[in-house]
Structure 1
Amino acid sequence: MFQTFDDHNDPSCGAPRAALLRDELKSRSLDGFLIPRADAHQGEYVPPHDCRLQWLTGFAGSAGIAAVLGAEAAIFVDGRYTLQVRDQVDMNVFPARHLMNEPLTTWLAEKLQPGQRLGYDALLHPINDVRRLKAVCNKAGAELVPVEGNPLDAVWSDRPEAPSGAVSLYSEKLAGRAASDKIQEIQKIVAAKEADACALTQPDSIAWLFNIRGSDVTHTPLPLSFAVVPVSGKPQLFIRGEKLSNTVRDALSDLADIDEESAFLKGLGALGAAGARVLVDPNLAGQAVAEAITSTGGLLVEAAEPVLLPKARKNARELDGARAAHKRDGAAYVRFLCWFDEHAVHGDLDEISAAQKLEDFRAQTGKLKDISFDTISGAGPNGAICHYRVSKDSNLPIPVGKPFLIDSGAQYEDGTTDITRTLAVGEMTDEMKRHYTLVLKGHIAISSARFPAGTSGAQLDALARIALWKAGFDFDHGTGHGVGAYLGVHEGPQRIAKTGVVPLEPGMILSNEPGYYPAGEYGIRLENLEIVTELKSVEGGERPMMEFETITLAPFDLRLIDKGLLTLDEIAWLNTYHAWVREELAPLLDNHVLSWLEEATVQI
């Protein structure tokens, strides 16, 4: 099993650990300290070595930050985690705040006193975040102080070792391009920005650029590392040497000069001393990166990391791989749905057994490298927790008479998958069917959208919500995120969300996942992955348009649909999608599962 169900979060640890940290801060003449849920790479998955926020507070979500002052503290999370945080964190020690409605900067403005010194680890906070924090501190008459050596690490007595997962070469057949070609493309982008080099801090960007994959974090094949790409000549790759076999080192040495990960800031300092102009993404790179360059005389060229868009625009090989991975995954998923349908109605399944069985069906493909994230297996009220993670302590039986939400994905060498379905268990009420159908309407609206070049995800986001809005409902997460090619299941810069300002381009893969979550009752989310297609002329139209190609293959649960709420076009979309699922998956299924699929996808 790639997923474990142990829960190591103990809210009772918050008070004694906060006391330890406060003692350490006092010894350093600091009045407070900031603890983000981040490592030096700002990635979604943080190795145990860097899970400082979880160690201190118990919070295990993928986004958040805590502030510890002398007499007060707080933890800040976004809308995905407002329920989870209360289960995992001692609210008496770390009262929870909504990251958007009551941001950290607002809280600090109210709490900081003149003359106080607020510490932070400059590797863990992006440049733009530090600017905002400095402005708040200055206004309060306080000082934001970068620390030498993280004070939390000093009191974390059983801190795990840094990861040293083996690095592997990713075949050009799957990558679709030689690493040398990618390097030349990035060098041209850097030169166009009038910079002498760029600093890369995102391991997925480095993995894509050098055609490598790693094993340093769970569920994503990342080699934690840094890189510097000059406008000409060899890049520098900063990575722990024990991760590289002789074969991998020899191959990478043809592409880059290799040094230890710990030498990265020193390498930036050398660039600064040479007066170099270094491109840095201020939303991703830590403040320590900027300081290493400017403190020695270099100049920052602030721009988006140059690898982000080329990585997001999947080439033909990557897209073919994604389609193949989703077809394989779809067959495994339908086997799971058939199994689930036969067992859940008897009331003898729970959240863990469902997640385990789904992973088992994927493993039976013989191609599964990992799951792409911990399966969100939410029964009853747990389904209403958007990013719920089931543990042995939280595990619930799957009740008959309520929808069951399962959000999961897989990592195959040729592609990354992510799919959510909400399943009927027994008889569903009219209200449940109404909620499900409103979400389905939003999903269909995104999937069938056409849009011109330059359209951003923010411009499409309302399509997923309008049916819910008309009924007085909404959901507190984005409609869609980018997805990598055997990389991160959550990939930027593309997204469909109110904040998704990057124009969508052909080859990008995004999720389409509206939802609705009546608190304490159940959750509904419906998710497919979509490829942005090339511009095409529309008959009778004036401008060429892009659209989405759906690549996820799995039926929607007809038992939860109120047909009367669907338009004729929506019914046609659903019937066409289900016919395609049957056609694609039929050759991969045995007669029993195929019979189930035929019934599950009958035209309505």
Structure 2
Amino acid sequence: MAQKTMNYVNQLRALMKNPKYVKESLQAYIIPSGDAHHSEYLAECDMRRAFISGFTGSAGTAIITESAALMWTDGRYYLQATEEMGEGWTLMKEGLPVTPSQGKYLSDNFSEGSRVGVDPNVLSYEEWKIIQNDMKGSGVNLIPIATNLVDLIWEDKPASPSSTVLPLAIKYTGKSCKHKVEEVRSKMAEKGSTLLLVTALDEIAWLLNLRGSDIDYNPVFFSYVLVTQTQVHLFIDESKVTLAVRNHFNEEDLPVNIHAYNKIHSFITEQIPEQTGKVWISSDGSYSLNSMVPEKIRISEITPIALMKAIKNTVETQGMINCHIRDGVALCRYFAWLEKELQKGNAVTEISGADKLEQFRKAFNRPKAYHPRDSKSLPSKGHQESKSLPSKGHQESKSLPSKGHQEGKSLPSKGHQEGKSLPSKGHQESKSLPSQGPSIKQELTVQGPSRDQELTIQGPSREQELTVSKPSGEDLDDFMGLSFPTITSSGPNGAIIHYHCTPKTDRPITTKELYLCDSGAQFK
């Protein structure tokens, strides 16, 4: 793999001097980890840094010069980067006092007049300013290169995702997209803004009450949104805009103008001269889009949507609570199962354990996966059997995680459990931990118009039982998937930050070693 990536590096160096793509030769080329929306987690088609280097961690920046290939990444990935990149690459350990910033390295190692290229679509305006400031006074120039040079050598580059976009009903969101847009316009008026450009995918999904799956483990879809005081423009691959999406906008009374995804730059060019107020675009947006707006009329603060979605409404808050109950049950069932299996002497490995945990999360939404305790526990005639979701009529929500998971993107912050299934008014919840000699019994009860939920963990074997009312069929698929690949590690693997288990590294889980399990799930 190391030899293969160095071949790519050498091809890139040739392109850095090719007048067909650069006006003047480049002495260095920066390859960030991000995409055009500054996403932390990427679709395969945007994993350019991983392609050129072999390093697959979620954070890192590569810089290719005429004689060196360097990778900046933080302490989570020192070991992984070293193993995956191999010979020919130099690891720049971010966070250590001896490691210079990217801009400082470039200014110290290149002479005045040197040119450093980067694709302005995948570097945020904020990141651009940081590098440029670090090089200030050195005479080294940061140059936007319109054509991404990595794409030119990536022959089998995956196509851009084209997953279907789905509406998220108001029973999950608690507020219509029309209401949200009205609140955004009010915030714009306070700032004297007549145009807001939204580039963050989680903010777009939250604003429009839509969900997608263009990026694994993130309920987002590639798009841009432009909001004025009278119109909303959505830039998206039009094949994703189904009849269900159009009906959703009609039902929530929000007229939306649909444009092709790749028309955003030309549309902004047309709109700028017409503005009587300021243009609001977050500095976390791309340098390419930010630089199109004259600085004197540009508001570079975070968008009002970022703050609005951070403050949950009643539906979203209760949904988050119920989500944690639901996912907590799955974790309790998994650990109870794991303890039993190990006591029996059955083999469980890091991979098989993670697979079993995912099964428990899926099963919690599917009554057939449960077995009655005995004949006495069967529901009486007329009662419905177990499942975790509320009955029809319950209000539910899902919040997208914020960056940094990535916990919660409120589009899943990049990577943890998220809200759903809200009980109707009057829903009460209780939790008690009575002591019973050497055993510990824990009961969790969630009661509502048509749901009773009970979780019991007993004795040293921690037997677990769950009884809930079966919801209507429309609620059976509310488990949407994991928040991120489960980090499951046994023994020494638990000391590896952001450890990713493979068949080669898979170890058995035993009662004689530490076992670490870091996981999360997404629900509507």
Same fold flag (TM > 0.5): yes
Query: What's 1:360 paired with?
Result: 359
Please name the residue that 2:324 is paired with. Answer: 326
| Paired position in structure 1 for 2:348 | 349
8 Å CA contact 1:277–1:299 kept in 2: the answer is yes
Of 20, 27, 52, the residue aligned with 2:11 is 20
**Larger Rg belongs to:** 2
**1:72 counterpart = 2:73:** no
* One-letter code aligned to 2:328: G
1:62 and 2:58 correspond: yes
Residue 264 of structure 1 is matched in structure 2 by 264
Give 1:288 deviation, angstroms.
0.5
The alpha carbon displacement at 1:290 in A equals: 1.4
Question: 5+ residue gaps in structure 1?
Answer: 1-9, 414-604
Whole-angstrom distance in 2 between the partners of 1:395 and 1:17: 31
Q: Identify the residue that residue 479 of structure 1 maps to in structure 2.
A: none
Q: Deviation at 1:381?
A: 2.2
Distance in 2, Cα, partners of 1:385 & 1:289: 38
Match of 2:255 in 1: 255
CA contact (8 A) 1:266 1:292 kept: no
The C-alpha deviation readout for 1:403-443, integer Å capped at 9, x for no partner, is 11000011111xxxxxxxxxxxxxxxxxxxxxxxxxxxxxx
Cα distance in 2, alignment partners of residues 116 and 252 from structure 1: 51
> Does residue 374 of the first structure (1) align with residue 485 of the second (2)?
yes
Q: SS of 2:42's equivalent? A: coil
Mark the CA change 1:207 to 1:105 in structure 2 (over 3 Å): closer, same or farther.
same
Helix, strand or coil for the counterpart of 1:144?
strand
Q: 2:203 aligns with which of 202, 205, 213?
A: 205
2:281 aligns with 280
Match of 1:462 in 2: none
> Does structure 1 conserve the Cα–Cα contact (< 8 Å) formed by 2:104 and 2:135?
no
CA change 1:96–1:344 in 2 (3 A) is farther
CA distance in 2, matches of 1:38, 1:227: 19
One-letter amino acid matched to 1:246: L
Aligned mates of 1:257, 1:373 — CA distance in 2: 33
Superposed, which structure 2 residues align to 1:89-108 within 5 Å?
Answer: 89-98=85-94, 101=97, 102=99, 103-108=101-106
SS in structure 1 of the partner of residue 494 of structure 2: helix
1:235 to 232, 235, 239: 232
Kindly provide the amino acid, as one letter, of the partner of residue 119 in structure 2: D
Give the aligned residue type for 1:289. L
Q: Distance in 2 between matches of 1:198 and 1:126?
A: 17
| Partner SS state of residue 82, structure 1 | helix
Distance change in 2, residues 1:399/1:86 (3 Å):
farther
Query: Could you tell me which amino acid in structure 2 is paired with residue 121 of structure 1?
Result: D
Counterpart Cα distance in 2 of 1:31 and 1:286: 23
TM-score (structure 1 length as normaliser): 0.64
Q: 1:134: how far off?
A: 2.0
Alignment of 1:513-552 (within 5 A): none
**1:77 offset after TM fit, Å?**
1.0
1:85 to partner: Cα distance: 1.6
The alpha carbon displacement at 1:386 in A equals 2.3
Following superposition, the deviation at residue 270 of structure 1 comes to 1.7
Residues in 1 aligned to 2:194 and 2:230: alpha-carbon distance in whole angstroms: 11
- CA deviation string 1:312-367 (max 9, x = no partner): 11111011111222212111111100111123464722211111110011111234
Q: Is the 8 A contact 1:273 1:298 kept in 2?
A: no
CA distance in 2, matches of 1:121, 1:202: 18
Q: Per the alignment, in what secondary structure is the counterpart of residue 293 of structure 2?
A: helix
Match of residue 299 from structure 2: 301
Q: Kindly provide the CA deviation profile for residues 109-131 of structure 1, in whole angstroms up to 9, marking residues without a partner as x.
A: 32222222110111111112111
Q: CA deviation at 1:191?
A: 1.5
Distance 1:323 1:213 in 2: 21
Instruction: Output the amino acid matched with 1:260.
Output: A
Q: Matches of 2:332 and 2:26 in 1, distance apart?
A: 56
One-letter amino acid of the structure 2 residue matched with residue 281 of structure 1 = S
Question: What is the CA–CA distance in structure 2 between the aligned matches of 1:74 and 1:347, rounded to whole Å?
Answer: 46
Counterpart Cα distance in 2 of 1:351 and 1:112 = 47
- Match in the other structure for 2:500: 389
CA contact (8 A) 1:49 1:160 kept: yes
Structure 2 CA distance, aligned partners of 1:256 and 1:405?
Answer: 47
Matches of 2:209 and 2:483 in 1, distance apart? 19
**Aligned counterparts of 1:380 and 1:228: Cα–Cα separation in 2:** 50
The separation in 1 between residues aligned to 2:46 and 2:198, in whole angstroms, is 19
2-side partners of 1:412 and 1:373: how far apart? 13
Task: Check conservation: 1:75, 1:96, Cα contact below 8 A.
Answer: yes
2:510 & 2:52 partners in 1: Cα distance? 35
Q: For structure 2, which runs of at least 5 residues remain unmatched after alignment?
A: 366-477
Q: How many residues align?
A: 400
CA deviation after TM superposition for structure 1 residue 100, in Å = 6.2
> Which runs of 4 or more aligned residues in structure 1 lie more than 6 Å from their structure 2 counterparts after TM superposition?
none
